[in-house]
Each structure stands twice: as C-alpha cells, then as structure tokens.
Amino acid sequence: MPVAHSLRGPAPPRRAVSRQLGALLTAEAISMLGSRITFVAVPWLILVTTDSALLAGVAGFAEMLPYVLSGLIGGPIVDRVGPRPTAVTADAASVLAVAGIPLIAYCEGVSFGTLLVLIALAGALRGFGDAAKRALLPRTIAAAGLSTERGTAMYDGTCRAATLVGLPLAGVLIATLGPAVVLLFDALSFAVSALIIGALVRVGHADAAARAESEQQGYADALRDGFRYVRGDRLIVGVMAMLFATNLFDQAFATVFVPVWVRDGPHGPAALGVIGTAFGLGAVAGNLLYTVLAPRLPRRRTLGICFFLGGPAQLLALALTDRVWVVLATAAVAGALMSTVNPILMASVYRRIPTHLHGRVISVLIAVSWAGIPFGGIVGGWATDLLGLHTAALLAAIGYLAVTVSPFLFPAWQELDETPHPERNKAVATV
C-alpha cells in the first residue's frame, strides 16, 4: 500500500526527501552503533563484577522489559504527536539516562538495584524512540520514491553495518577503557541522532486530521485499535508468535552464551565482538545481494529457508564445538542468511497497515515480538549456570528449529507473497 507523507503544501523535490531518508538512516546508524556498544558493555560489566551469568541476564531483563512496554504504550502517542518529534525527544532524554549508568557505577556504595533502575530507564526511553523511528521509516521511504522492499533492505543494511562496526569496537573499548567508560559513547550517539533527525528530517509530523482523530478517540481506544488490528491479521499474529520465541533465544545467545564463552576462553574481553563481527560481515554481504535480488525472490520461501538454517546455526556452533574458526565461519554464514529476514517482514507489515495506524499497530507488533527478549537473558543465564554452556546452547538451538518451521506449515504465511489491497487494510482496521 502506498504511504503518503504528512507534509502540508506542495511536495518537496524528490532529491530533498531522498536526502531526508539518508539523514534518517545516518541517525539510525549512529544510534545503533552506540546501542551495540551498550549491548556488549552492560552484561560484561555485570558478569565481571558479580561472576554470575544469571545476574548478567537480570541486567538484560531490566533493560529490555521497559523497552518492550514503553514501545507498546507509546504507539498511540506516536500517532498523535508524530513520529519525528517523538523520536527527537526520546533520543535527547536517552543522553542523560545512558550517561548516568557509568556515573552511578563509579559511585561507591551504590547498590546493584539502583544500577538496574537506571538501566531500566534507559531501556524505556530507547523503546519509546525506536517505536517512533519505525513509524517514521515507511513515510520517509515512500516520500523518497523507493519500493518498500528496497527501502527496508537499505534500513536493515544500515543496521547490519552499524553492528559490524559496533561489536568489535565495543570489545576494543572495553578492553582498553573498561565497560563503564564506554557507555558514554552510547550517550553521545543518542545526542547526535536527535540532532540529525531534528535538523534534517521533515516528514513524520502528525497531520491535523490524524491528530484530531486521535484526540477525539482517546488514548485507551487508540491502543485497543492497535490490538484489534493485529488480532484480525493472521499473518501478523504468526510473525509475532515466531519472533517472540526466536528473540528469546537470540537474547540468551548474545547476553549470556557469548560472554560466558569469552570468559571461559583464552581470548579476553576484546573477543566479545568477534562473533558479532563475523556475523556482521556475512550480514552486510547478504544484505547487498538481497537488495538487488529482492523484487525477484519469493518472500515466504526465502524467509522460511533462511530463518530455519541461519537462526539456530550459531547456537549449534557454540553447543557442538570449541573451535573458534568454526564458530566464526558459522556466524558469517548465519549473518548472510539472516540478512533477508528483517527486510521481508518489515516490508510485508508496512504494506498491510494504514499510515494513520502505524504507531499503534507497529508498537503492538514489536512489543509482542520482543516480549521474549527480557526473559531470554534470565532463561539463558539460569540454564547456563545449571546445565553448562554447551547443553544450554543446544537446547536453545532445538527450540529455534522447532519454531522457524512454521512458515512452511501454516497457510497464513502464504500471504507474504501477496500484496494487500488498500481496501483490505481499511476493512481490517475497523474490525
């Protein structure tokens, strides 16, 4: 479904809105770079100070549960205020929250609980900002005149590239400066992101009609609309169910299994980003190839094969071998395969949702899909402490395989290969 931008008056030149898409992708890359540093630094900080995989998982829970909840409750606000001003405000507030984590960590006598509260606040603000940026993305893509597939592939490629740089950079910075200091880099990234979006991106204001409708409807009714729309779309329900499980396993892998693998090996904290670097190299290469081939590939079959093979591959590698080169080679292949997943899902979802419902519907979709993440670190930490790294990773891989077979089993997934008609969107939205 075409998505119209919300600027009033004559449309700006195509080159101008293309520059706005470039600005949004740049801001997201910088913000993602900082977030990847934090993603590595926080669990490592907890692991080395407490020597507990479970507490490292608790820290991940403290960040991601508020992230999921704030993204959910922020959806109707994004629709009313507009995704652009919401994103700028959330990123600006995140500067203070993230910068406070290392400051608190350096204070003597501060309890672990106090640190968790600040981590939770940072997670909540990031969730609010990410919900706004996801609603801003399809409008910017449409205004630039790109297809949804190509625009979402560019967005995913940007995120993959930021991950490719951010994870090894995090390992090097942690090894040289310590995990507390490097969190300041994430705070700086939020500041830069807010400045870029605020100064250079002009689409994504709430138009008068959407704001009036939202104000008349009320917050609770708008949030219910998001759940109502999602409940009436079988494909979106299937996407949420599968991603709930796979995100749980991915979180356990990233925040517990990899740090424990590094701690128990001879490589030191600089190796924290090694697996992520290998995965990122494969993902960037795969994304470039997919961006070219996307219009000619069948969506459901491509998603199903790549997710089934690429998703559990790294878990199996950690479970079945201690050879570093095997783990890294597997990560690179997994990255190439998984680079197709997000663009296919994002493009399919954006086409199905009316523009004025983007904030509330996408927030519900993301909240349910990511609800497994807060528990992934805890489940992974508990399983690792109880069963050991290899057994815990093997069980997670088996679970991953079980859920990623669903695109081949359930008829609703066939709708990935269809292009919804705008009238269908309107009908579902009023169910």
Measured on CA atoms in the order 287, 315, 305, 367, is the torsion positive or negative?
Answer: negative
State the pLDDT at residue 429: 37
Task: Give 329's contacts (C-beta < 8 A, 6+ positions apart).
Answer: 278
- Average pLDDT on 379-405 reads 91
pLDDT of residue 171: 73
Cα separation, 356 vs 226, in Å, equals: 11
What secondary structure letter does DSSP report for 1?
Answer: -
Write out the two tokens for 302.
């491509």
The pLDDT of residue 422 is above 60: no
- Tens-place pLDDT, residues 61-99: 788 788 878 877 777 778 777 888 889 999 999 998 888
Closest CA to 1 of 430, 427, 292, 431: 427
| pLDDT reported for residue 419 | 65
> Closest Cα to residue 74, out of 139, 135, 28?
135
CB 9 within 8 A of CB 132: no
Q: Does residue 198 carry a pLDDT above 70?
A: yes
Count of other CB atoms within 10 angstroms of residue 412:
15
Polymer length in residues for the chain = 431
Q: Which amino acid is at 377?
A: G
pLDDT at 54 over 80: no
Nearest to 314 by CA among 253, 380, 356: 253
Q: In this predicted structure, what is the pLDDT of residue 426?
A: 42
Is the pLDDT confidence value at 14 over 70?
A: no
> What distance in Å separates the CA atoms of residue 118 and residue 113, rounded to the nearest whole number?
9
pLDDT in tens, 204-235: 555 555 555 555 656 667 777 778 888 888 88
53 alpha-carbon distance from chain centroid: 23
Cα separation, 27 vs 197, in Å, equals 7
Dist. CA 272–CA 44, nearest whole Å: 9
